[in-house]
Structure 1
Amino acid sequence: MSDDERSVDELLGLFGDELTRGILLSTSETPLSAEELSDRFAVSRTTVYRRVKRLGRYDLVHEAVRTDRDGHHYRVFEAAVDGITFGIEDGKLAVTVSVAGDLADGFEGFMDGMEASVDRVTREAGDRADRTDGTDTWGNPHHG
C-alpha cells in the first residue's frame, strides 16, 4: 500500500467518527474552545483534544489563542478547510481538500508579497550586475 493510499484510508477512518465530523463542522462555522466543544458534544475536553489533534495531523483544523475580557488566554480551534471531496481516480480512492477562504486569501497575499520581493531583489541584483568597477553583484572582486 502506497503512502497516498494509506493517507486516504486514514482520512476515511477519521471521518468515520461522528465526533470528529462534528468538531470539524462546528469549527467551520465559528472558532470554538475545547470547553465549548466539550459542552456541545457532551464529552470530556481530553476527548476533544484527541480528536482535534487527529484533525490537525492533516491540517484540517488550526489553533489560535484568544483573550477573554479578564485578560485570560485560551485556545480556540477553527476548520482550516471549506471542502473535502472523496472520489475515484484511475480505480483508486482520491481525496481533494479545499483550503478555507481566509487561509487561501492569506496564502495568495503571501505569494503576491513573495513575487514582489523576488522582483525587487532581481531588479537590485541586475542593477548591481551592471557595475563597471570590477566587482560582482555583491561587490566582491571578479576573478577571471
Structure 2
Amino acid sequence: MSPAGDADEADVGQVAELLANACAREILVRTAGEALSGDELADRCDASRTTVYRQLERLEAAGLVVGAVQLDPDGHHFERYRASLDRVTIDLDTDGVHMTIDRTEPATDAVDRLEGLFDRLR
C-alpha cells in the first residue's frame, strides 16, 4: 500500500481485524507519540510480552507500525516501534465499502539516521 491511498479488499479485512483487537489499538495509541520497545508496551498496555509481540508482528506486517533498532550504551540493541498509521477512513456507498489508509513516516532523529547508515554499511 502507498503512504496514503485506497486499501484493497485484503487490506480492509486485515486492518479491520487489527483495529477490532483491543491490544492492537492500545499499541497504536501508545506508539503514536513516541517509539516504545515491546517490553515498555507490555508494561503500559498491561498485557503479556507474548501478546504484545504477536500484535506488533501483525501491525508491522500491515504497515501500521514501524520498528527501528536502537543501540544501547552497553552494546546491546533492541527494537522500538512507532505507529505509522495516521488515519483510517471508511466510506460506504452503493459500490461497496471503501477504506482509505493514511500513513505517516515516523520522524527520524540523528540517532536513527546514524543507525540506518551503519545498517547499510554492513
Q: Could you state the TM-score of these two structures normalised by the residue count of structure 2? A: 0.72
Q: 1:45 aligns with which of 46, 49, 73?
A: 49
Moved more, 67-76 or 3-12: 3-12
2:30 counterpart SS class: helix
Check conservation: 1:33, 1:76, Cα contact below 8 A: yes
1:91 maps to: 95
- Bigger fraction of residues in strand: 2
Q: How does 1:66-105 map to 2 (within 5 A)?
A: 66-102=70-106
1:54 maps to: 58
Moved more, 7-16 or 47-56: 7-16
Bigger-Rg structure (1/2): 1
1:71 counterpart SS class: coil
Alpha-carbon distance in structure 1 between the residues aligned to 2:55 and 2:38: 10
1:48 Cα shift? Answer: 0.7
Q: Which ranges in structure 2 are unaligned for 5 or more consecutive residues?
A: 1-6, 108-122
Matched, 1:32 2:14: no
RMSD, matched Cα: 2.0
2:120 maps to: none
1:89 Cα shift? Answer: 4.3
Query: Which of 1 and 2 has higher RCO (CA within 8 Å, sep 6+)?
Result: 2
Question: Which amino acid is the alignment partner of residue 80 of structure 2?
Answer: V
- Bigger fraction of residues in helix: 1
Check conservation: 2:90, 2:99, Cα contact below 8 A: yes
Q: Which ranges in structure 1 are unaligned for 5 or more consecutive residues?
A: 104-144
Alpha-carbon distance in structure 2 between the residues aligned to 1:32 and 1:76: 5
2:74 counterpart SS class: coil
Sequence identity (%) = 36
1:96–1:37 Cα change, 3 Å: same
